[in-house]
Structure 1
Amino acid sequence: MGKETKPTQQEIAMGALAGICSGYLFKKVSKYAAATAVVGYLAVQGASQAGYIKINWKKVNDQIEDLKEAQYIKELTDKLADLTDEISEIITDEDTLLLENEGRLKATARRAYEAFKQNAATSGSFTAGFTLGILFA
């Protein structure tokens, strides 16, 4: 592992500023997205009630059942993958232990965690700033 350096005040301040800006924008954009979804839903329902649109509810229900079945199959596949991960041989890496069949998502999460540990002060100030940006937007 490399030499650990102490974070500077500038790094912490930049992390906090970036977090505040990101949180503020996230809250503003999410408000507009939610409003757009509600207006769209109400427009479709109004058009349906007025007779402009005919919704094939049988087809909608069939699609929902297909999605439920696909979700059930995915859950079973995930359980099988977890069992495979537990059985897999552990390979020793320089900094971490990796499972042979770990998968991209877990490997990415592990790398993100390692990066967060190395930049904990900047990441923490970003997280705090993000929270403040959402709260005060």
Structure 2
Amino acid sequence: ARPPAGRKEDAFNVLDLAEYTKSRPWWKKVFAPSSGSSAEKYNVATQLVIGGVTGWCTGFIFQKVGKLAATAVGGGFFLLQIANHTGYIKVDWKLVERDVNKAKQQLKFHSSSNKMSPEVKSKVDEVIVFLKKNVILTGGFAGGFLLGMAS
């Protein structure tokens, strides 16, 4: 038996979409998941801002990590040289030279074959398609990255 019409159980909540979008935070509007490329979702200014900001952040972090890595590698090499000179460790330079030559031969072999595996080729193709679809976003990212590296 159905309850009679007009009772509270039959009432539906009505959602006003205009009010709902006004109440949503700005980051959900900008970064909301949606299908299509960023060129279809955002205007040129938004694409440049998003690309520029993410590029600058990436460049800034890359610069700081790069300096840290260079300091660590340089400091480690310096400590190894001191340890070798004072006699704490002995480096077999002939073994080092042999391994470096072996690595050179492998690099020559891989660069001479110049063939990409199908997995790598498909990923490269995906990246190229993404870059073509999102030229403005990519340009903003590249500019922001260079500014981040310079700051």
Query: What TM-score does the superposition give when structure 2 sets the normalisation length?
Result: 0.66
Which whole-Å CA distance do the structure 2 matches of 1:121 and 1:7 have between them? 10
Q: Moved runs in structure 1, 4+ residues, more than 6 A?
A: none
Which whole-Å CA distance do the structure 2 matches of 1:17 and 1:115 have between them? 19
**Residue matched to 1:97:** none
| CA displacement, residues 76-124 of structure 1 (integer Å, 9 cap, x when unaligned) | 433xx48xxxxxxxxxxxxxxxxxxx62223222211111111111111
User: Could you tell me which amino acid in structure 2 is paired with residue 64 of structure 1?
Assistant: V
Larger radius of gyration: 2
Which whole-Å CA distance do the structure 1 matches of 2:109 and 2:40 have between them? 47
Name structure 1 gaps, 5 residues minimum. Answer: 83-101
What CA RMSD, in Å, does the superposition of the two structures yield over aligned residues?
A: 2.3
Asked whether the 8 Å contact 1:7–1:122 carries over to 2, the reply is no
Structure with the bigger percentage of strand:
1
Does 3-12 or 62-71 show the bigger shift? 3-12
**Residue matched to 2:124:** 109
| CA displacement, residues 17-42 of structure 1 (integer Å, 9 cap, x when unaligned) | 11111111111110111011111000
* CA 1:122–1:75: 2 relative to 1, 3 Å: closer
Name structure 2 gaps, 5 residues minimum. Answer: 1-35
Query: What TM-score does the superposition give when structure 1 sets the normalisation length?
Result: 0.72
Which whole-Å CA distance do the structure 1 matches of 2:53 and 2:111 have between them? 40
User: Could you tell me which amino acid in structure 2 is paired with residue 106 of structure 1?
Assistant: K
Which whole-Å CA distance do the structure 1 matches of 2:111 and 2:51 have between them? 37
| CA displacement, residues 25-78 of structure 1 (integer Å, 9 cap, x when unaligned) | 111110111011111000000000000010111211221222223223323433
Which whole-Å CA distance do the structure 2 matches of 1:18 and 1:116 have between them? 15
